[in-house]
Amino acid sequence: MRVTYLDNNATTRVADEVREVMLPYFSSLYGNPSSMHLFGGQVHRVIEKAREKAALLINAEPDEIVFTSCGTESDNTAIMSGLETGRNRRHIITTRVEHPAVLNFCKSLSRRGFTATFLPVDKLGKIKPEDIEEAITDETAIVSIMYANNETGVIFPMKEVAEIVKSKGVLLHTDAVQAIGKLPVDVKDLPVDMISISGHKMHAPKGIGALYIRKGTRFSPYIIGGHQERGKRAGTENVASIAGLGAACELAREEMKAENTKVSSLRDKLENGLLKSCPDVRVNGDTENRLPNTANISFEFVEGEAILLRLNEFNICASSGSACTSGSLEPSHVLRAMGVPYTAIHGSIRFSLSRYTTDEDVDIVLERLPGIITELRTMSPYGK
């Protein structure tokens, strides 16, 4: 049965071009890049080539890129490094709407003797950059603010944030896992110190990530062992996936502009179609500053999980809240932080598109979903 996949903020399909680039490292080119012999040495060059491609995507220098195992590792590494090199400063500033890779890590650190400030967002999911300025103290080691939200797609004003944080001389990290590959990011124009990247959100495989570390930034490694990644991240390199991430970065750089035009017009068609055909529907988040691929829509008086189950019968994949929190029936912490009414939080669905989304995918959802909503509302415990 045909799959209608609109859950690309959870993960993306590996691009064919990316898979092709990876294959030799599972068969003929299996050497260890740290080996002295040529067989391993040739693999080392592949890693350096991928590093160049990843750097180019954000206009960084290759030696500012460190490969990691995922976005979560990049996030944890950046924050921990900020604390380790922070000359006894023990305070972190972040937001209430971060991905659990930052949010839960900061919560865990605050149980281990550090302090964390979780900044609020407004009804549209936006932060107030002035709040950051007020929250910074002499104790602040690092500020970690996401670039774009995985649930709503809301983009934070990172340049403004960076100017404030850097004027205070504090280290700044951004979790740009949902932004890299979807939005142009230029580190020469954006004074952040560290940026987290994840392969599987941009058509590379799962289990590969990167951390941009600006030259001159004090850094302390999180994974300690061998001297791989110039001593910044130990562990034998995931060569195939690193090559894949490099290829995905190259593809994103070449195709981002055209892709965004196509993806945002499909997303708008989906969103407008649903707003037109279903009553009591709202779009969550700041639609003016939003990732081109994301629509977070609340169908009031219905349970999101019930909607997903019905969509599943037609092989339509979407998500309620982030993939990491679905499975627990906890309402989305992002929508709660935005003050979205409970009846709307419970009926929220995230649709996230990609370069592979077609007109037909959108038509299938528009054909099936309004009927599902009407049907579920007649059985709703909210009595609508």
Taking the complex as a whole, how short is the minimal distance between the CB of residue 196 and ligand PLP, in angstroms?
Answer: 7
**Phi/psi-derived region of residue 328, left when phi > 0, alpha when psi is between -120 and 50, beta in every other case:** beta
The SS3 assignment for 231 reads: helix
Using CB under 6 A as the binding rule, whether residue 14 contacts ligand PLP is answered as no
Could you tell me if 338 and 121 are in contact, meaning their C-beta atoms sit under 8 angstroms apart? yes
Of 270 and 291, nearer to ligand PLP (C-beta) is 291
Q: Known catalytic residue: 249?
A: no
Q: Which residue is nearest to ligand PLP (CB)?
A: 71
Paired tokens of 347: 């009926």
Q: In the numeric block, which tokens belong to residue 40?
A: 């391993």
Binding region for ligand PLP (CB under 6 A) out of 84-92, 118-126, 159-167, 172-180: 172-180
**DSSP letter (8 states) at residue 319:** B
Taking CB under 6 A as the criterion, the residue among 76, 150, 238, 325 binding ligand PLP is 150
Determine if 233 is a binding residue for ligand PLP (CB under 6 A).
no
d(CA 13, CA 354): 9
Q: Is 144 in the site for ligand PLP (CB under 6 A)?
A: no
209 or 292, CB closer to ligand PLP? 209
Q: Give the integer Cα–Cα distance in Å for 127 and 176.
A: 16
Q: Is 121 in the site for ligand PLP (CB under 6 A)?
A: no
- Give whole-number Cα distances, 311 to 3, 355, 369, 376, in Å: 11, 21, 7, 12
Q: Is 346 in the site for ligand PLP (CB under 6 A)?
A: no
Give me Rg for the CA atoms of the chain. Answer: 21
> Concatenated DSSP letters for 243-288?
HHHHHHHHHHHHHHHHHHHHHHHHHHHHHHHHHHHSSSEEE-S-TT
- CB within 8 Å of 261: residues ≥ 6 apart: none
CB 84 within 8 A of CB 108: no
Task: Rule CB under 6 A: choose which of 15, 21, 54, 101 binds ligand PLP.
Answer: 101
- Residues that bind ligand PLP (rule: CB under 6 A) add up to a total of 15
Considering the complex, state which of residue 99 and residue 267 has its C-beta at the smaller distance from ligand PLP. 99
Judged by CB under 6 A, the residue of 70, 97, 349, 362 near ligand PLP is 70
- Please calculate the CA angle 58-265-53 and round it to the nearest 5 degrees: 20
Question: Which CB atom, from 209 or from 347, has the smaller least distance to ligand PLP?
Answer: 209
Least distance in angstroms from the C-beta of 85 to ligand PLP:
22
CB atoms within 10 A of CB 250: 20
Is residue 177 a contact residue for ligand PLP (CB under 6 A)?
yes
Binding status of residue 145 toward ligand PLP by CB under 6 A: no
Q: Is 285 in the site for ligand PLP (CB under 6 A)?
A: no
* 7 is a contact residue toward ligand PLP (CB under 6 A): no
7 or 193: CB nearest ligand PLP: 7
Interface residue with ligand PLP among 79, 119, 146, 338 (CB under 6 A) is 146
| Interface residue with ligand PLP, options 99, 173, 232, 346 (CB under 6 A) | 99
Specify the residue for token string 């592949």. 46
- In the list 86, 205, 209, 347, the residue contacting ligand PLP (rule: CB under 6 A) is 209
Contacts of 13 (CB under 8 A, 6+ apart): 5, 203, 354, 356
Residue 325 touches ligand PLP, criterion: CB under 6 A: no
Catalytic positions, please? 324
Positions that interact with ligand PLP (CB under 6 A): 70-72, 75, 99, 101, 146, 150, 175, 177-178, 198, 200, 209, 322
